[in-house]
Amino acid sequence: MNDWIRFVFLILLSITLENYGSIKLNSLRLDLEKMNLKKKLLIFALAFSICLVIYFAFLHLKIREQSNETTADHVEYLIILGARVKGTVPSLSLQNRIDTAADFMKKNNNTIAIASGGKGPGEEISEAEAIKNGLLEHGISESRILLEEKSTNTVENIQFSKKLIPKHLISGMVVSNDYHLYRAKSIAKDQGLDLAGLPAKTPAVAVPKSYLREYLAITKYYLVKFLNGFS
């Protein structure tokens, strides 16, 4: 009887040890799978970060290329893109665009300006009206200024301003802050306008926010253009 008890005990012990070993093996396998998953996620995050840095560097290069191009000595018309107006006062970014356009128009007496920009939240006058007022303060004749007051974004700035360009005028230039010219000129080209660029300085305090926002805006522009290619 004792031999039978010993035999049964050994069998039960063997089964228990086998099950325990199997559980430990499965647990070890799960731990390894978790480690591999974490490693893969870490590698993916690192690769994604590197790609993102390279992509932003590419965008910054394109922006700088456009802003550093030699400005044309003379064109027949300017399209001055609007920016934020605080009540009736142009923001620093918009004021720089106005000043840059006015300096060019003083040197080119036959150049006309299309002031482009609608009225947004917190703005008591349209961005186009603010541009016009700024040009008048610089001594630019009102007869040389056309207003486009319906646009709400860069695409509409170009689209609506294009309709106001006198038929006999050929050469034109878009005026905006340096970070904005690459996208503005690309949009103009999409709409059949081969515009030169006239860069206005970006206020130092606005540089980080403006460039980051522009990186995202260019990315959106690329995506929309890509998707439209399949429609």
User: Identity (one letter) of the amino acid at 17?
Assistant: L
In this prediction, residue 9 has a pLDDT band, given cuts at 50, 70 and 90, of: very low
51-81 tens-digit pLDDT: 999 999 999 999 998 888 878 889 999 999 9
The secondary element (H helix, E strand) that includes residue 70 is none
C-alpha 30/C-alpha 183 separation (Å) is 50
Rounded alpha-carbon distances, angstroms, from residue 203 to 5, 28, 87, 131, 132: 91, 59, 19, 17, 21
Q: Tell me, what's the pLDDT at 24?
A: 55
Q: What is the value of pTM for the model shown?
A: 0.81
Structure tokens at 218: 């260019």
3-state DSSP assignment of residue 172: strand
Quote the mean pLDDT of the chain.
87
For residue 13, count CB atoms less than 10 angstroms from its CB and return exposed for 0-12, middle for 13-18, buried for 19 or more: exposed
Lowest mean pLDDT among 33-42, 59-68, 88-97, 201-210: 33-42
